[in-house]
């Protein structure tokens, strides 16, 4: 009996500026790679600026950091994932070749503009990306009759609205705290995580951890999603603590109940699974802290960093590894680099949460540890997966 041998293809165009290059075959390829590279650079840049190591560079302030973690890194991964998933859902082509390269270039132009261009021009360039990325996604979903996933286009539209409010506030056009639209955008992405996670994590667990039987109850899922939406809206609208706190804590408890049914304890020997379960577990942690923040018992920063570093970044790096392996024709098996980057991102989340909850004297060392863990995790992804993203599928299929 012969064994299947997976070898790296050698016959491919090595010039990534050509539309035929493998990098431009499917959305996950350029957007995952660019997001990871940007993640490696951006957080140390912000920490160095915050600690005064860079002198006067006013563009790298808190507003830039908040915006770029959502509309730079996270949005790139969301768009890359949705382009890839939509092709699988519908069987119709999503942006590739020149179209995909143009969208990737627009995203990159937005990152450069946010650092160096006049604020008005930066706002225009940055605001163009999401609508132009959402339109082809809408077209393939509508053409295929895939109404089940059209809500994702609506969420991208809401993310665009929040981005517009952020830029209007930054330009002094409206009297809104810049933190508010970014927090709204984070909660929108958490909703996306909650919906997609409920679809794929139990399925991945059943298929990847022999003997597991994840419990999925539609009524429980509806309660979890409904309470998550209600708590998010209550926070965004600034409702009083007697309304906001119970909703956030209820969302936390139901989300944890939902996760427990997926049998996370039985995935500990499968890194590609436990990273998804652990990262999803930060959602109830974040909402519990959000409830405490509404009561002024902890800072909102602690809650939102649990949601961003713990949940968002953890699910991002777990799904980036998994989809890169699957969509480049490789076995769904974690290597040493994967295990290291999964642990690093979780350690970084714990360190960042400790900064938000611990004594002020530990803030600077905690930020440095969190930034190092973050950058090392995404740096490992670039090193381990960058060459795979730049080469054709090992099985010869398109994608």
226-240 pLDDT per residue, tens: 999 999 999 999 999
H-run or E-run covering 266 = none
pLDDT of 1 above 50? no
In this prediction, residues 75-88 reach a mean pLDDT of 95
Please name the helix (run of DSSP H) or strand (run of DSSP E) that holds residue 4, with its range, or none.
none
- Band of residue 394 on the pLDDT scale cut at 50, 70, 90: confident
Q: Token pair of 44, please?
A: 């140390």
DSSP conformation class of 151? H
Give pLDDT tens digits for 134-156.
999 999 999 999 999 999 999 99
Q: Do 314 and 344 touch, CB atoms closer than 8 A?
A: no
Pick from 207, 222, 205: nearest CA to 257: 222
**C-alpha atoms less than 13 angstroms from C-alpha of 12 in its C-beta half-sphere:** 24
The answer for residues whose C-beta is within 8 angstroms of residue 28's C-beta and 6 or more apart is 80, 81, 83, 84, 320, 323, 324, 327, 389
**Rounded to an integer, what distance in angstroms lies between the CA atom of residue 188 and that of residue 286?**
14
pLDDT average, residue stretch 367-375: 94
The angle formed by the CA atoms of residues 44, 352 and 268, to the nearest 5 degrees, is 110
pLDDT band at residue 5, thresholds of 50, 70 and 90?
Answer: very low
- pLDDT at position 13 is 52
When pLDDT is cut at 50, 70 and 90, the band that residue 12 belongs to is: low
- Report the pLDDT value the prediction gives residue 50, as an integer from 0 to 100: 87
Report, as an integer, the average pLDDT of 60-65.
Answer: 89
pLDDT at 377 over 50: yes
Region 268-295: mean pLDDT is 96
Tracing tokens 């119709």 back to the chain, one arrives at: 92
Residue 71 has pLDDT above 50, yes or no: yes
User: Which whole number is the average pLDDT over 361-385?
Assistant: 92
Is residue 169 within 8 Å of 183, Cβ to Cβ?
no
How many C-beta atoms surround the C-beta of residue 255 within 10 A?
Answer: 29
CA separation for the pair 112, 44 (Å, rounded): 17
How many angstroms separate the CA atoms of 333 and 275, rounded? 13
Region 379-386: what's the mean pLDDT? 96
pLDDT, average across residues 61-72: 93
| Chain mean pLDDT for the chain | 91
Note the pLDDT of residue 56.
62
> What is the longest distance spanned by two Cα atoms in the chain?
71
> Quick one: pLDDT at residue 100?
96
Residue 115's nearest CA partner among 157, 54, 169 is: 54
| Helix (H), strand (E), coil (C) string for 56-85 | CCCCCCHHHHHHHHHHHHHHHHHHHHHHHH
Nearest of 255, 398, 376, 383 to residue 327 by alpha carbon: 398
Phi, psi at 54, each rounded to 5°: -110, 5
139: three-class secondary structure by DSSP: helix
Q: What is the pLDDT of residue 3?
A: 39
C-alpha pair distances (Å), 287 with each of 228, 245, 355: 8, 9, 18
Among the ranges given (149-158, 283-292, 362-371), the one the predictor scored with the smallest mean pLDDT: 362-371
Region at 34 (left for phi over 0; alpha for psi -120 to 50; beta for the rest):
alpha
């Amino acid at each position: 009996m012969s064994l299947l041998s997976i070898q790296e293809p050698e016959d491919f165009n090595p010039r990534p500026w050509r539309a035929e290059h493998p990098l431009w075959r499917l959305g996950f390829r350029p957007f995952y790679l660019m997001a990871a590279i940007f993640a490696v650079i951006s957080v140390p840049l912000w920490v160095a600026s915050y600690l005064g190591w860079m002198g006067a560079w006013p563009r790298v302030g808190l507003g830039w950091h908040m915006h770029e973690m959502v509309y730079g890194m996270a949005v790139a991964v969301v768009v890359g994932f949705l382009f890839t998933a939509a092709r699988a859902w519908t069987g119709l082509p999503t942006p590739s070749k020149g179209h995909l390269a143009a969208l990737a270039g627009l995203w990159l132009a937005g990152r450069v503009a946010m650092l160096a261009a006049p604020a008005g021009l930066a706002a225009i360039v940055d605001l163009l990306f999401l609508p132009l990325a959402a339109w082809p996604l809408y077209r393939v979903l509508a053409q295929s009759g895939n109404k089940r996933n059209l809500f994702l286009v609506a969420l991208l539209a809401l993310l665009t609205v929040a981005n517009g409010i952020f830029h209007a506030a930054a330009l002094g056009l409206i009297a809104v705290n810049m933190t508010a639209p970014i927090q709204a955008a984070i909660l929108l992405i958490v909703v996306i995580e909650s919906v997609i996670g409920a679809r794929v994590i139990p399925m991945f667990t059943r298929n990847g951890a022999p003997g597991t039987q994840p419990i999925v109850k539609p009524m429980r899922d509806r309660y979890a999603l409904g309470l998550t939406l209600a708590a998010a809206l209550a926070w965004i609208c600034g409702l009083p603590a007697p309304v906001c706190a119970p909703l956030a804590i209820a969302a936390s408890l139901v989300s944890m109940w939902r996760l427990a049914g997926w049998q996370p304890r039985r995935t500990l020997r499968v890194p590609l699974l436990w990273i998804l379960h652990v990262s999803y577990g930060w959602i109830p942690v974040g909402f519990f802290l959000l409830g405490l923040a509404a009561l002024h018992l902890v800072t909102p920063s602690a809650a939102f960093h649990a949601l961003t570093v713990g949940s968002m970044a953890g699910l991002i790096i777990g799904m980036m590894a998994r989809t890169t392996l699957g969509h480049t024709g490789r076995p769904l098996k974690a290597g040493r680099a994967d295990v290291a980057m999964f642990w690093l991102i979780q350690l970084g989340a714990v360190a960042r949460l400790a900064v938000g909850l611990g004594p002020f004297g530990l803030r600077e060392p905690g930020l440095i540890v969190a930034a190092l863990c973050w950058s090392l995790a995404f740096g490992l992804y670039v090193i381990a997966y960058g060459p795979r993203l730049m080469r054709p599928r090992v099985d010869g299929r398109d994608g």
